[in-house]
Amino acid sequence: MAVGLGLSSGAFAQETVKIGVILPYSGPFADAANQLEAGIKLYMQQNGDEVAGKKIEIVRKDTGGPAPDVAKRVAQELIVRDQVDILAGFALTPEALGAADVSAEAQKLMVVMNAATSVVTEKSPYIVRTSVTIPQVNYVFGKWAAEQGGIKEAYTLVSDYGPGHDAESSFSKGFTEAGGKIIGSDKTPVANPDFSAFVQRVKDANPEAVYVFIPGGAQPAALGKALADRGLTPPDVKLFGQGELTHPEALESMGETAKGIITTFHYTLERDDPLNNEYVKAYREANNGRSPDLFSIGGYDGMHLIYEALKKTNGDASGDALLEAAKGMSWTSPRGPMSIDPETRDVVQTVYIREVKEVDGKLQNVIIHEIPDVKDPLHGAK
């Protein structure tokens, strides 16, 4: 009778797959966290909260980061106390690195939806990344700048942390291999930097071009203004950077001085594609008119990977089963074709080169070149 009752009650109880989302919901990167979560929410809104007969439950944890120690602690809490099946989120590299050991020890799938330092996926065999890597977009960008961008000398200015170091080294490597020369370099503090002194040093060096990398959030607009104040904008000086530099908010702040800035990115809001147009429309409707960004698309595609992996495993949420399901997965995202490299568990995707132009009276990033099927060059990419 006891066995019979157990089976009877179990038949009516729907199992739950819990996803522990770790993000800096408070602190200087709160906006990035909110954008990433908005991508998660939109995917669930469009695809429901049930997969393979399992109910999907999100358990959120705030790091207030960047705070790797906090990320590690809350990852442990999520697994031990909340009994989550999957770890996800990770807007910031230090926090992804902080939680990686926990993922490995607990043998839980960890979906990195933004953190973009190359080494992240190597820190746990259970990590899969659905965002981008810094070298992935910047190595090919450096080569393009020298071969097709018309510059032979450049000065680099990057944030002094993992992603900034990756950006500088990968852009410089691609640029110098293609015949360019780096004439100077500098690094700015990650938190609350005053860009004025750094930008002045760039101006004093009188470079032909400047390559910059800074985190998303409020910094792109602040750096853009500092560069414009000192005349370090096109056409006087060629300005290159990763896509955060020309986010819509930054473009609004820089105004006309943003024209001609050239950036590299894996997602372009204005890319005229039916799937992307539908995504942008739905995102704006769900977020009071705000447009999606790199954080949003990382969260959106991260949920796609989780849902599709669960479908493949028929709802088996064990780390090993989900990991095998994720390896080699490919799909068409609003960003374009993408896949997960089965060897590195890292994302493979198109890299876009964009230039800020005025279209219908509004500044936007216009795609001027596409480089398909790009891997992280530190993992043997072409």
Instruction: List, as one string, the DSSP characters of 225-242.
Output: HHHHHTT-STTTSEEEEE
Residue 221 contacts by C-beta under 8 Å, 6 or more apart in sequence?
A: 247, 249, 250, 252, 253, 254
Residue at 142 is within a domain: yes
Residues 170 and 201 in one domain: yes
DSSP state letter for 380:
T
Residues 31 and 155 in one domain: no
Domain residue limits at 63: 16-132+275-345
CATH of the domain at 81: 3.40.50.2300
Residue at 189 is within a domain: yes
Residues in the chain: 382
**Backbone conformation region of residue 3, classed left if phi is above 0, alpha if psi is from -120 to 50, else beta:** alpha
Residues 211 and 359 in one domain: yes
Residue at 6 is within a domain: no
CB 298 within 8 A of CB 114: yes
According to the model, what pLDDT value does residue 349 have?
98
Kindly give the confidence (pLDDT) of every residue in the chain, 382 residues in length, as a single tens digit, with 9 standing for 90 and above: 344 444 433 433 469 999 999 999 999 889 999 999 999 999 999 999 999 999 999 999 999 988 999 999 999 999 999 999 999 999 999 999 999 999 999 999 999 999 998 899 999 999 999 999 999 999 999 999 999 998 999 999 999 987 899 899 999 999 999 999 999 999 999 877 899 999 999 999 999 999 999 876 678 888 888 888 888 889 889 999 999 888 887 888 778 888 999 999 999 999 999 999 999 999 999 999 999 999 999 999 999 999 999 999 999 999 999 999 999 999 999 999 999 999 999 999 999 999 999 999 999 999 999 999 999 998 744 3
Residue at 221 is within a domain: yes
Residues 52 and 80 in one domain: yes
CB 22 within 8 A of CB 78: yes
Residues 146 and 288 in one domain: no
Residues 199 and 301 in one domain: no
Residue at 233 is within a domain: yes
According to the model, what pLDDT value does residue 91 have?
95
- Terminal C-alpha separation, the chain: 63
Residues 231 and 258 in one domain: yes
Residues 211 and 88 in one domain: no
According to the model, what pLDDT value does residue 14 have?
64
Q: How many domains does the chain have?
A: 2
* 134 phi, psi to nearest 5 deg: -60, -50
232-262 burial: b if 16+ Cβ within 10 Å, else e:
bbbeebbbbbbbbbbbbbbbebbeebbbebb
Residues 102 and 127 in one domain: yes
Residues 260 and 201 in one domain: yes
Residues 260 and 285 in one domain: no
Which tokens go with 82? Answer: 């909340």
Residues 146 and 258 in one domain: yes
